[in-house]
Structure 1
Amino acid sequence: MRDPRSLYELNADVPVPRGLPLVAGLTGFADAGSAVQQVTDYLLETLDTVVVATFDADELLDYRARRPIILFDADHLTAYRPPRLSLDLAQDELGRPFLLLTGFEPDFQWERFTDAVIGLVEDLGVASTTWLNSIPMPVPHTRPISYTVSGNRSELTDTMSVWKPTTQVPANALHLVEYRLQERGHPTAGFVLLIPHYLGDTEYPDAAVAALQAVTAATGLIMPTDALREQGREFVAKIDEQVAGNPELAKLVGTLEERHDSYMEGTTLRSPLIGEDGEVPTADEIADELEKFLAHRRTRDDERPADG
């Protein structure tokens, strides 16, 4: 196998602190509710980022299966948007750095791509890896979005994984990355969002919020979500209006609610970030809680007697 490092170009001018979390989301397969696409676009647009490594699209992408966009203006071509798969250094809302792997899911050379990602994880001293995916499920939009969580972080799988099937599933590239990282004992978690099947082909803002909630639970990073929440409220209001005006759709949602509630009665799982009202706290609320926690830790450290 050719050297995996030749798959990407490293930006040697960007110093990367060791011990950062890695967050990954690649598009191209089973992105129900456009959760991954929305999250990665949103983070790249709203956060301060700088490219650490750029992967070679000509090696990894089937252009005829996923054709890139070129702009045509009246009688000539004006711009070309090349496919992008890159590792960026980003900062959350509190200014804490983390690594962000985004772009297209490779069509080719999965083993070599996986070795390349693992090489970056090891070379950069990555502390943990968290990745996102979403699939359509027979669940109602009137209930909080749930997860299936994989990996070797029991504190996440035990508290957040609502659906734990034993089954064969079509893999994506990040499944293989998780599998290989887990073999090495690297802390890894994969979050699969369970999206209402009737919203699977939409851009469902609440799916993006739930994905960011998963990232916060896994890494402690605080992400901006206010714009997504506002979009989500408007989106759900339109869905509720359609449901109210369609008896068949209302019956479907009601049946899904009954099945969902019956299933959830048999589990005590509850996301640590969801309040009693079922709402995900805002970034400001999470930041306030974090500040309280840090203040408490500082007080305890000050009160602790010195060794010796």
Structure 2
Amino acid sequence: MRDPGGLYDLSLDATTVPAGLHLVAGLTGFSDAGGAVSQVSEYLLDNLEMREIAAFDTDALLDYRARRPIMTFVQDHLTDYKPAKLSLYLAKDELGQPFLLLTGFEPDFQWERFSQAIIQLVQRYQVRDTTWVHAIPMPTPHTRPIGVTVSGNRTDLIDAMSVWKPSTQLPSNALHLVEYRLAELGHPTAGFVLLIPHYLSDTEFPMAAVTALESISAATGLIFPTEKLREENRDFIAKVDDQVENNPELQRLVGTLEARHDSYMEENPLPSPLVDESGELPSAESIAAELEKFLANRRDDDR
């Protein structure tokens, strides 16, 4: 079924989508430092149960000359073509909690129409709130936790998690406009900007994906499997540390970034939402107790 604006097709079973779900979004395109969004999208599509409920019109939204699709050529003929996709999925997290996932390429064209299409879907499915992620390079060290800047109208998340609150003009992402239009309507929305070490921005930094998933979890209560990503990150960091150890210039760079980072954090202390008042990580038992409490509250809300 075609939407009235003509930008997406709905699957026939779309009417079975329950109301009141979280919407999670991440689009690849202009800025994806550390491969944060691309890793998250690939990881969720590969590891979670989901089905497509809306497919956007690629020909209407994508500039093929700027982002050419990949085709496979074998000796004398073409064997495969993988067009870019932008889709809305009904997914389930590790605990079986349903949510909506918007993932794929960032539109090159028709941002206003695209924003109105997202608003239409948000209203159609009575979405509870919208959370999106992207990542930018920053002069920060890989030896410190990845920081985030939080935008939107969810002041609870901004106060608890936003380590950098600049006032500036910036080249925007299509989801910036979606966030802006949703906020105008009073819809709860939060955008997480991951601050990735600039010297790792052109690599696939597994911790960037982990931080993105942790940010989404903090905003929604959804639970995602991250063990594989964390294992990949240990191997990745070991290789980076080995390069730094054998390069005095890199050692000086990282040391300078560490000093600046630590000085900034001392002047702008911000407790992590994952630690208690004493600054300690909670035990597995307390995490389980909080999770049971959360699920019990969700059941009460559903009733």
Asked if Structure 1 and Structure 2 have the same fold, meaning a TM-score greater than 0.5 normalized by the shorter chain, the answer is yes
In structure 2, the CA distance between the partners of 1:295 and 1:4, relative to structure 1 (3 Å rule), is: closer
Counterpart check, 1:33 vs 2:27: no
How far is the alpha carbon of 1:285 from its aligned partner? 8.1
- Give 1:11's aligned amino acid: S
Between the aligned partners of 2:281 and 2:200, the Cα distance in structure 1 is: 20
How far is the alpha carbon of 1:291 from its aligned partner? 3.5
Between the aligned partners of 2:296 and 2:13, the Cα distance in structure 1 is: 38
Between the aligned partners of 1:38 and 1:66, the Cα distance in structure 2 is: 18
Indicate conservation of the 8 Å contact 1:4/1:113, yes or no. no
- Give 1:74's aligned amino acid: Q
Aligned to 2:68: 67
1:120 partner SS: helix
Alignment of 1:224-243 (within 5 A): 224-243=225-244
Provide, for residues 193-244 of structure 1, a one-character-per-residue CA deviation record: whole Å limited to 9, x for no partner: 0000000000000000000000000000000101100000000000000000
Between the aligned partners of 1:83 and 1:285, the Cα distance in structure 2 is: 44
Between the aligned partners of 1:196 and 1:278, the Cα distance in structure 2 is: 25
In structure 2, the CA distance between the partners of 1:58 and 1:258, relative to structure 1 (3 Å rule), is: same
1:125 partner SS: coil
Aligned to 1:216: 217
- Give 2:201's aligned amino acid: G
Alignment of 1:1-308 (within 5 A): 5-14=5-14, 15-273=16-274, 288-294=288-294
Between the aligned partners of 1:278 and 1:240, the Cα distance in structure 2 is: 27
Indicate conservation of the 8 Å contact 1:4/1:112, yes or no. no
Between the aligned partners of 1:280 and 1:197, the Cα distance in structure 2 is: 28
1:178 partner SS: helix
1:5 partner SS: coil
Indicate conservation of the 8 Å contact 1:114/1:176, yes or no. yes
Give RMSD over aligned pairs.
2.4
How far is the alpha carbon of 1:30 from its aligned partner? 1.2
In structure 2, the CA distance between the partners of 1:186 and 1:10, relative to structure 1 (3 Å rule), is: same
TM-score (norm 2): 0.92
Indicate conservation of the 8 Å contact 2:28/2:37, yes or no. yes
Between the aligned partners of 1:153 and 1:221, the Cα distance in structure 2 is: 17
In structure 2, the CA distance between the partners of 1:157 and 1:143, relative to structure 1 (3 Å rule), is: same
Q: Which one is further off, 175-184 or 263-272?
A: 263-272
5+ residue gaps, structure 2, are: none
5+ residue gaps, structure 1, are: 302-308
Indicate conservation of the 8 Å contact 1:150/1:189, yes or no. yes
Between the aligned partners of 2:286 and 2:187, the Cα distance in structure 1 is: 27
In structure 2, the CA distance between the partners of 1:147 and 1:208, relative to structure 1 (3 Å rule), is: same
- Give 1:24's aligned amino acid: A
In structure 2, the CA distance between the partners of 1:122 and 1:242, relative to structure 1 (3 Å rule), is: same
In structure 2, the CA distance between the partners of 1:194 and 1:68, relative to structure 1 (3 Å rule), is: same
In structure 2, the CA distance between the partners of 1:87 and 1:149, relative to structure 1 (3 Å rule), is: same
Indicate conservation of the 8 Å contact 1:85/1:104, yes or no. yes
How far is the alpha carbon of 1:269 from its aligned partner? 1.2
Aligned to 1:306: none
Runs of 4+ deviating beyond 4 Å? 274-282, 284-287, 294-298
Between the aligned partners of 1:280 and 1:200, the Cα distance in structure 2 is: 29
**Count of aligned pairs between the two proteins:** 296
- Give 2:109's aligned amino acid: F
Q: Which one is further off, 52-61 or 287-296?
A: 287-296
Between the aligned partners of 2:275 and 2:5, the Cα distance in structure 1 is: 41
Q: Which one is further off, 6-15 or 183-192?
A: 6-15
- Give 2:32's aligned amino acid: D
Aligned to 1:305: none
1:6 partner SS: coil
Indicate conservation of the 8 Å contact 1:61/1:106, yes or no. yes
In structure 2, the CA distance between the partners of 1:78 and 1:295, relative to structure 1 (3 Å rule), is: closer
1:211 partner SS: helix
How far is the alpha carbon of 1:149 from its aligned partner? 0.3
Query: Percent same amino acid among aligned pairs?
Result: 65
